[in-house]
């Protein structure tokens, strides 16, 4: 990998990752080819949403131009085509995540809905007063609030696994939190605010030994690393399509068949029924029991194309390239005087969150934007994380495989200019 | 770079905010909070015979919100409550419309660049929203920009 003592540009850094032709890959992402305020766009906000390759854009377009029809039950050609394309995504996701069956993969709007589905459907049926739900100190609001709402409704108690100054969960404290009242452990696989990769396999195994179920929020993990659902043995796992280069409004919730079968439906309506009379309704089998109403068909098809695209690049190659990019970015940012990284876990993925002495993240964000550099500033929907580090907000540069070493250099140069303004 | 937004006077007030202290004898007080960026502000106002005789603030925020609070405190002293609220309306107009810049705004015109940065309007108005809250009731509720 390149180092700062040997300054590099996008072209010169290809060495360590020569198999990964980032310039060629960037050709697949039309949005990246534009100037912002007269400067080439440097998109460092993929943790908020990832950009979409032509493959995804074309798949959605093709659906609308050629195959558009409502899915399931249609006997005409278009309906059969769109049903096949939509359902094919489930099979692709099964292979992508190595789940055992396709019918344990439920289409949802995104990870937020996936978590809400479990907290509502499983939670209301199974959680009783005095039960405990365990989350962690680094959760996104989407993996805090649904559980808080469930606790409020049921009289259960929310427990929080603490973390250290690096942004790593304290596993010995987690061990102490587990007890016979623990019903669910809901933890993020990768922190959106800190980049920490949590030891989810260990977290799941410990929860299971205590008799608790587990839900893993994979929104920030699936785009960056191999996720093997059978190896992990999570009871529920969810992610959002738009963070894995697919469209917004579509995601997947995985749940073990026995658990999903025992859960009541989340929403009622068409598609989720077998027989409806005014006296009684019997529900459809998995996965349709949880998929009321006409779904985001185009989104589902687009997600399938996104998973194909990631497969084509190779998730392990992506992870290796991003790891090198993150290491380079970490070293480059820490060389800036007055800059403090927030989140320095030993196991990290794709996130560089930081604060700068005397300069508010919002001002950094605006000044970088004027140089064409898109970063996110604020609390990243993780206010408890900000409180822990005693900062009101951070600036977050988040990486994807289409980012270059040259873009890291542009970020560093941009931050030096920010410092000049506030000198 | 972006000197239309970060004008010299704004940078100066953000680095050395004026009237940035607690006020023990304030007659009114309000809290402002921008949940979007975590900016927090506590505003102290001393009103005597309907005249704003003193204003101060404490808090943490970005350069725009800090400079806005600082310049606001300078421009309010000596104004009646009515005049202060009228200034708030003019300031809001400056940030959110394309109308001609009002002559009554004095130094506050340096914020005219903010209208080209819609994401930053709330930063510039936080102190003023808080002022409105402080002036409208003796015991103001905490306000937010939402």
Residue A117, pLDDT score: 98
Q: What is the mean pLDDT of residues A315-329?
A: 97
Architecture in CATH of A12-33+315-421: Alpha-Beta Complex (3.90)
Task: Give the CA angle between residues A239, A174, A155 to the nearest 5°.
Answer: 75
**Helix intervals (H) in A263-391:** 297-313, 315-334, 361-369, 383-388
Q: Which of B11, B61, B120 has its CB closest to that of A366? A: B120
Q: What is the mean pLDDT of residues A66-80?
A: 92
Contact A365, A373 (CB under 8 A): no
Contact B1 A379 (CB under 8 A): no
Q: CA of B3: which chain A residue's CA is closest? A: A421
Percent of chain A with pLDDT over 70: 96
Q: Which residues of A touch B63 (CB under 8 A)?
A: 359-360, 363, 422
Between β-strands A273-276 and A281-283, what pairing exists: parallel, antiparallel or unpaired? antiparallel
Interface-testing mutation among B17, B37, B39, with chain A (most A C-beta atoms within 10 A): B37
Whole-angstrom Cα distance, residue A26 to residue A152? 47
Contact A352, A397 (CB under 8 A): yes
What CATH number does residue B126 fall under?
Answer: 3.90.1010.10
What confidence tens digit (pLDDT) does each residue in A120-129 have?
999 999 999 9
Q: Which of A370, A386, A392 has its CB closest to that of B1? A: A370
Contact B1 A367 (CB under 8 A): yes
Is B11's Cβ below 8 Å from some Cβ in A? yes
Residue A9, pLDDT score: 43
- Please name the residues between 76 and 115 in chain B that touch chain A, using a CB distance below 8 Å: none
Q: Which of A16, A320, A381, A391 is catalytic?
A: A381
Count how many pairs of residues, chain A against chain B, have C-beta atoms within 8 Å: 52
What is the nearest CA distance from A327 to chain B, expressed in angstroms? 28
What confidence tens digit (pLDDT) does each residue in A95-151 have?
999 999 999 999 999 999 999 999 999 999 999 999 999 999 999 999 999 999 999
Contact B60 A377 (CB under 8 A): no
Whole-angstrom Cα distance, residue B68 to residue B127? 7
pLDDT over 90 at A25, yes or no: yes
Contact A422 B11 (CB under 8 A): yes
Q: What is the mean pLDDT of residues A245-267?
A: 97
- Weakest mean pLDDT among A10-24, A308-322, B110-124, B128-142: A10-24
How many domains are there within chain B? 1
Is A141's Cβ below 8 Å from some Cβ in B? no
> What band does B28 get if pLDDT is binned at 50, 70 and 90?
very high
**Closest listed residue to residue A209, CA positions, set A225, A187, A185:** A185
Domain membership flag for residue B3: no
3-class SS of residue A262: helix
Contact B62 A378 (CB under 8 A): no
Q: What is the ipTM of this complex?
A: 0.86
Kindly list the domain boundaries of chain A, sorted by start residue: 12-33+315-421, 56-312
Whole-angstrom Cα distance, residue A293 to residue A288? 10
> What band does B137 get if pLDDT is binned at 50, 70 and 90?
low
Contact B37 A367 (CB under 8 A): no
Residue A14, pLDDT score: 43
pLDDT over 90 at A1, yes or no: no
Contact A367 B123 (CB under 8 A): no
Contact B2 A422 (CB under 8 A): no
CATH of domain A56-312: 3.40.640.10
Domain membership flag for residue B144: no
> What band does B140 get if pLDDT is binned at 50, 70 and 90?
very low
Q: Which of B38, B40, B62 has its CB closest to that of A363? A: B62
Q: Which of A362, A370, A417 has its CB closest to that of B123? A: A362
pLDDT over 70 at A199, yes or no: yes
What confidence tens digit (pLDDT) does each residue in A141-195 have?
999 999 999 999 999 999 999 999 999 999 999 999 999 999 999 999 999 999 9
Contact B1 A366 (CB under 8 A): no
pLDDT over 60 at B142, yes or no: no
Range of the domain at B34: 8-138
Q: Which residues contact B127 (CB under 8 A, 6 or more apart)?
A: B32, B41, B43, B57, B65, B68, B69, B72
Contact A215, A236 (CB under 8 A): yes
What is the nearest CA distance from B1 to chain A, expressed in angstroms? 8
Give Dmax over CA atoms of chain A in angstroms: 76
Q: What are phi and psi of A210, to 5 degrees?
A: -90, 0
Is A287's Cβ below 8 Å from some Cβ in B? no
Percent of chain A with pLDDT over 90: 90
Domain membership flag for residue B146: no
Q: Which of A360, A379, A386 has its CB closest to that of B62? A: A360
Interface-testing mutation among A36, A355, A363, with chain B (most B C-beta atoms within 10 A): A363
Is B41's Cβ below 8 Å from some Cβ in A? no
Domains A12-33+315-421 and A56-312 share a fold: no
pLDDT over 70 at A74, yes or no: yes
What confidence tens digit (pLDDT) does each residue in B75-122 have?
999 999 999 999 999 999 999 888 777 778 889 999 998 988 888 999
> What band does A271 get if pLDDT is binned at 50, 70 and 90?
confident
Contact A248, A269 (CB under 8 A): no
Domain membership flag for residue B20: yes
Q: What is the mean pLDDT of residues A285-314?
A: 96
Is A357's Cβ below 8 Å from some Cβ in B? no
Q: Which residues of A touch B62 (CB under 8 A)?
A: 360-363
Q: Which of A360, A361, A367 has its CB closest to that of B2? A: A367
A381 is catalytic: yes
What is the nearest CA distance from A298 to chain B, expressed in angstroms? 31
Q: What is the mean pLDDT of residues A54-67?
A: 97
Is A267's Cβ below 8 Å from some Cβ in B? no
> What band does B138 get if pLDDT is binned at 50, 70 and 90?
low
Q: Which segments of B9-131 are extended strands (E)?
A: 28-34, 39-48, 51-60
Percent of chain B with pLDDT over 90: 70
Is A393's Cβ below 8 Å from some Cβ in B? yes
Contact B120 A393 (CB under 8 A): no
Is B20's Cβ below 8 Å from some Cβ in A? no
């Amino acid at each position: 990998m390149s180092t700062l003592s040997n300054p590099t540009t996008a072209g010169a850094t290809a060495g360590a990752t020569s198999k990964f032709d980032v310039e060629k890959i960037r050709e697949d992402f039309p949005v990246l080819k534009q100037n912002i305020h007269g400067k080439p766009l440097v998109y460092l906000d993929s943790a908020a949403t990832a950009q979409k390759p032509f493959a995804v854009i074309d798949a959605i377009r093709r659906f609308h131009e050629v195959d558009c029809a409502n899915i399931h039950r249609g006997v005409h050609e278009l309906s059969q085509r769109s049903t096949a394309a939509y359902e094919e995504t489930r099979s692709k996701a099964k292979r992508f995540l190595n789940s055992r069956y396709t019918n344990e993969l439920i289409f949802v709007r995104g990870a937020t809905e996936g978590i809400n589905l479990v907290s509502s459907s499983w939670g209301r049926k199974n959680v009783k007063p005095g039960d405990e739900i365990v989350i962690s100190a680094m959760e996104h609001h989407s993996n805090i609030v649904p559980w808080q709402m469930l606790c409020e409704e049921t009289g259960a108690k929310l427990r929080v696994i603490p973390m250290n100054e690096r942004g790593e969960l304290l596993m010995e404290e987690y061990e102490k939190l587990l007890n016979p009242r623990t019903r669910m452990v809901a933890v993020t696989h990768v922190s959106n605010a800190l980049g920490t990769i949590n030891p989810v396999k260990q977290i799941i195994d410990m929860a299971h030994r205590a008799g608790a179920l587990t839900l893993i929020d994979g929104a920030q993990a699936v785009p960056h690393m191999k996720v093997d659902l059978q190896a992990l043995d999570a009871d529920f796992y969810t992610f959002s399509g738009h963070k894995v280069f697919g469209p917004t409004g579509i995601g997947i919730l995985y749940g073990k068949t026995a658990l999903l079968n025992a859960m009541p439906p989340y929403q009622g309506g068409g598609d989720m029924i077998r027989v409806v009379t005014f006296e009684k309704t019997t529900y459809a089998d998995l996965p349709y029991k949880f998929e009321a109403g006409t779904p985001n068909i185009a989104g589902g098809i687009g997600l399938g194309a996104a998973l194909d695209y990631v497969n084509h690049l190779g998730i392990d190659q992506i992870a290796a390239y991003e790891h090198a990019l993150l290491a380079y970015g970490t070293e480059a940012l820490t060389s800036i005087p007055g800059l403090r990284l927030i989140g320095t876990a030993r196991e990290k993925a794709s996130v560089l969150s930081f604060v700068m002495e005397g300069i508010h993240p919002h001002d950094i964000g605006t000044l970088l934007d004027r140089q064409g550099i898109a970063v996110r500033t604020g609390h990243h929907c993780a206010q408890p994380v900000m409180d822990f580090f005693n900062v009101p907000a951070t600036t977050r540069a988040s990486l994807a495989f289409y980012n270059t070493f040259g873009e890291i250099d542009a970020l560093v140069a941009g931050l030096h200019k920010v410092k000049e303004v506030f000198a | 770079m972006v000197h239309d937004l970060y004008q010299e006077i704004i940078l100066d007030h953000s680095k050395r905010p004026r009237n940035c202290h607690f006020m023990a004898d304030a007659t009114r007080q309000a809290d402002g909070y921008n949940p979007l960026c975590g900016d927090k502000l506590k505003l102290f106002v001393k009103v005597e015979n309907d005249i704003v005789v003193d204003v101060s603030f404490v808090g943490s925020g970005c350069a725009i919100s800090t400079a806005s609070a600082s310049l606001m405190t300078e421009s309010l002293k000596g104004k009646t409550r009515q005049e202060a609220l009228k200034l708030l309306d003019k300031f809001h107009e400056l940030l959110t419309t394309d109308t001609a810049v009002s002559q009554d705004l004095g130094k506050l015109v340096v914020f005219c660049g903010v209208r080209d940065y819609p994401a930053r309007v709330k930063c510039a108005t936080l102190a003023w929203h808080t002022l409105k809250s402080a002036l409208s009731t003796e015991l103001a509720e905490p306000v937010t920009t939402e």
